[in-house]
Chains A and B, each alone.
Chain A
Amino acid sequence: MFRNRRRPRLARVAVAGAAALLAVGIAACSSSSSPSSNTSSSSTPSSTAAAVAGGNATVALPAGVTLNWIWPFIPLTSANEYNTEGFEEYMYRPLYEFGNNGDSVSVNYPLSLANQPTYSDGGKTVTISMKGWKWSNGETVNANDVVFWLNMMEAEKANYYGYTPGLLPDNLASYSATGPDTVVLHLKSAVSSIWFTYNQLAEITPMPEAWDVSSASAAAGSGGCTTDSAKDKWAKCDAVFNFLTTQAKNVKTYATNPVWQVVDGPWKLSSFSTASAGPVTSFVPNPDYSGAPKAKLASFTYYAYTDDTTEYTALKTGQIDVGYIPSADLPPNSGSSVLPSVNPLGSGYNLQPAYQYGIFYMVINFNNPTIGPAFKQLYVRQALQDVVDQPGIDKAVYRGYAYPTSGGVPTQPKSQWVPSVQNENDGQGPYAFSVSTAKSLLTSHGWKEVGGVMTCESAGTASNECGAGVTAGTKLSLTMDYATGVQAFQEEVAVYKSDATQAGIAINLVPQSFNTIIGETTPCSPGPKCTWDILNFGGWNFNGPGFEPTGEPLFETGASSNPGSYTDSNEDKLINETHTSSSISVFDQYATYTAQQLPFIWLPNAYAVQAVNSKLANVTFNPLFTWLPEYWNFTK
């Protein structure tokens, strides 16, 4: 999902609405399976201490976050990873689960509601067999529940945040339940099994028959959406949608409404409020959960905070069991370990790093009438990247608790998706920080420093000239709109401006509110209205609804989250190849090319330092945001 800068230091931040993440095959594994480790590679110590059943764990929500949507069929207005992975998924498991109680970023079949899907017919047919788990009202999680979801997607495309025109459900030729526990999907064209599982099937959450109603206390299934079709223009599903949406809009009844009490996950909601401070949400175990492990805690409660300082104060005064330390309050990291050498909270808490499986960047406007042609030159982008002092910013602004972004694939945790080129230069990728390199790149292409600002002197297409479309006299004087609200971010752009100036690139910083910048991120066609130069507002996390770090939502021509209108036919070709091929070398080609081509300018990626009560064991911070409190337990 898209990732905004407002709460960068938290494991749970970032909303990357990756609807269509291309998955790439893993050559090292067999053709149909991808490794899913269920064993908890938990890095919490004290998992050997005697476990105690029961207890209430208190967990801090990131500052400013409020949970406000319970129905898994979530619209764009409410879509963020807190509502999905941090709330809904405790109660309503998705068809396929990703991540584990460790740092895996792969699919997790033991925790999923269905077995591994089988692909046949050259990748045009997908067969899903359900495991037969139970809903808390006695129903079985069966094939009809999947069809119910798919029908709802057909009926209300615009109201599901994961929808991208052309992809699920548009790429389905037909689908049906061929048995009580079997769903068969026929696709319009052949696909890669990895991609389709990771990025398309990942969008499905089976819904119980009890929800297939269009009025309260109607009989389960009477809504008729599960058997609806395009013949009546999905009218029945629309009616069910309206009913369920009305229920979802009534936040006061979340904990009491019988609709929401039908769960198939390990937890049930016991209390809920939309207050922005204090205890806001509590969960208790669902005794009818069919999976394993079963919850050991008696309950856990979320606490909300209005800002980082107050959350940290709560940690310091021992009011919460699981929280994060804002980076301003961390001792500077010497660099040898990812955690501080001195624990500012003392022995009552254990510290853990919490990575987000994503990338950070700023976007440049290729369609800008004056500077767009310059941006289209790779050496100019290289110069812009060369003046990003990622190591310096990591140390100074983020106190050492950050690492560079080096391309389109996240480099933490280490995975098979990362191309070798992204690991060069100590993790900076092909273009390391060097003001002198930036300068010489520009001067060797016909730019000259005039009044401190690089100006194009030799226009033309020869190898020592500025490049096609760049007129003589063009100045590298750029305006960067950046999102206000986070102190560290403001410091980061100040450093960038300072370094860029030394290379002759003038950056004019314009602070804007986050939502104002979002307003500017509509890709624009070249013209007088397309005048922004650089937008700096966040990044992208590959944590739902798709989980494979491919570039389709970001780098493909016309992609919805490609505000700068980057377009490159080779990139498009490589992206499309990863749609259909499961080979790692195909993915590697895409990833390497992207890292070299700099469609965006990469920026440092901060990770959070989480603090866990030393008496609470088996708490981990999966980079995909998959939180599994059913593994947690208190110790003596």
Chain B
Amino acid sequence: MAPRKDNETVIGFLIRRIGQALIVLFLVTVATLGLVHLFPGGPVRALLGDRATPYEIAYYDKLYGFNQSFFVQYLKWVDQLLHGNLGYSAKLNLNVSAEIAQDLPKTIVLVLLGTVVSLLFGIPLGVYQAVKRNSVADYVLTGISFLGYSTPTFFLGIVLVDWFAVDVHIFPPFAPQYTSVASILGDPRALVLPVVTYAFLLYALWSRYMRSSVLDNLVQDYVRTARAKGASERRVIWKHVFRNSLVSIVTLLGLSLPTLVGGAILIEAVFNYPGMGLAFYQAALNVDYQTLLGFTVLATVATILGNLLADVGYAMLDPRVRY
């Protein structure tokens, strides 16, 4: 994250950021392609399985261009990318863009809902904790949010399924099994357990940050000034402190955009909800390099966008930073 320098124009800012973004994209994709080539036997052997005769291996090496140098392969892939083609996964018999179109909406639903739920609880409780610092409530809430930090997601998910779906049939044992977003959202009962599991970890994040951010702000000069001027405590907190504390949350929100690409893999595995995370895991196990590269690009773009959004939000919310 690099806020705008003084006397830099908006255009200049954008150019600088785009330049940085391209460098990052380059580094990440080279690294991914390099990693793929570290698999013993190469990607073709993994693709064809152990039945492949040398005849077939040679044929496919040529077909997919694996017999060319790393440099040439990378350039070919870049060329393909610039033509808008994210690649074709032979293992899945799907275009990578079709894979993404199929999996991304589902992950977005899960991550968005989980984020919203965790924010709804995290922000107010974080403020409350800061105001009532070191009280019993503060300790208890701290304990709960730390529980969120410390519980393995898959453990929580499976245990919840076992208690609330199998032993007692309150919720279904899986996330919604539909493919369209509308149908998924139309089955809220099935969304409860996965969203709760996902939100539990995030809640910890928001409430801790909110708490420390509010605490930081409470000792600032402008708060003392506002109090001296006679503003009520509530006004001080909600009008001044809260707004400034939101800055850190906005930053974090922006930075968490990449979790849309592969962050929710454990929830997806436990609740039979195949999204981007599981797709990536399968691609890694299968050495499905086209998918790996495509997802990597997507994740990087998401990060860059996320950083940008975070900066913009930061600028809009923090009165000290003005463009």
Contact = CB atoms under 8 A, between A and B. Distances in A.
Interface of A: 1-2, 15, 17, 19, 64, 66, 68-69, 76-79, 157-158, 161, 163-165, 248-249, 251-252, 273-279, 305-307, 309-310, 313-314, 316-317, 485, 513-516, 518-522, 537, 553, 560-561, 563
Nearest to A160: B56
B59 A158 contact: yes
B55 A249 contact: no
Contacts of B177: 277-279
A300 B45 CA distance: 36
B268 interface: yes
22 contacts: A2-B49, A66-B92, A68-B93, A77-B48, A78-B91, A79-B49, A158-B55, A273-B179, A274-B94, A277-B274, A306-B278, A307-B272, A309-B158, A310-B173, A310-B271, A313-B173, A516-B40, A518-B46, A518-B50, A519-B287, A522-B41, A561-B50
Given A66-B92, A158-B59, 19 more contacts: A76-B47, A76-B48, A77-B60, A77-B90, A157-B55, A165-B53, A249-B88, A274-B92, A306-B273, A309-B158, A310-B174, A313-B161, A313-B166, A515-B39, A519-B39, A519-B40, A521-B41, A521-B45, A561-B51
A356 B91 CA distance: 24
A164 B53 contact: yes
Contacts of B97: none
B1 interface: no
A518 B45 contact: yes
Contacts of B91: 77-78
B285 A276 contact: no
Contacts of B42: 519
B305 interface: no
A276 B274 contact: yes
Contacts of A522: 41, 45
Given A313-B165, A313-B166, A275 B274 contact: yes
B178 interface: yes
Contacts of B259: none
Interface residues of B, number: 50
A513 B38 CA distance: 13
A163 B90 CA distance: 19
Contacts of B102: 274-275
B52 interface: yes
B272 A277 contact: yes
Nearest to A278: B177
Given A76-B52, A158-B59, A164-B53, A251 B39 contact: no
Contacts of A276: 274, 278-279
B98 interface: yes
B204 to A, nearest CB: 26
Decide if the interface of chain A is mainly helix, strand, loop or mixed: loop
Contacts of A513: 284-285
A1 B41 contact: no
A514 B90 CA distance: 17
A14 to B, nearest CB: 12
B301 interface: no
B32 interface: no
A76 B158 contact: no
Nearest to B281: A306
Interface in B10-46: 39-42, 45-46
Interface string B168-198: 0100111001110000000000000000000
Nearest to A310: B272
Interface of B: 39-42, 45-53, 55-56, 59-60, 88, 90-94, 98, 102, 158, 161, 165-166, 169, 172-174, 177-179, 268-274, 278-279, 282, 284-287
A514 B47 CA distance: 11
Contact of A17 (B51, B165, B271, B285): B51
A313 B41 CA distance: 38
A309 B278 CA distance: 15
A277 B173 contact: no
A278 B179 contact: yes
A165 B57 CA distance: 13
Closest 6 CB pairs of A and B: A519-B41, A278-B177, A17-B51, A276-B274, A310-B272, A515-B46
A279 B178 CA distance: 8
A68 B92 contact: yes
A307 B272 CA distance: 7
B56 A158 contact: yes
Given A249-B88, A306-B274, A317-B173, A519 B45 contact: yes
Given A252-B98, A278-B179, A161 B51 contact: yes
A150 to B, nearest CB: 19
Contacts of B92: 66, 68, 274
A498 B169 CA distance: 42
B50 A563 contact: yes
A518 to B, nearest CB: 5
B50 A521 contact: yes
A560 B285 contact: no
A447 B172 CA distance: 60
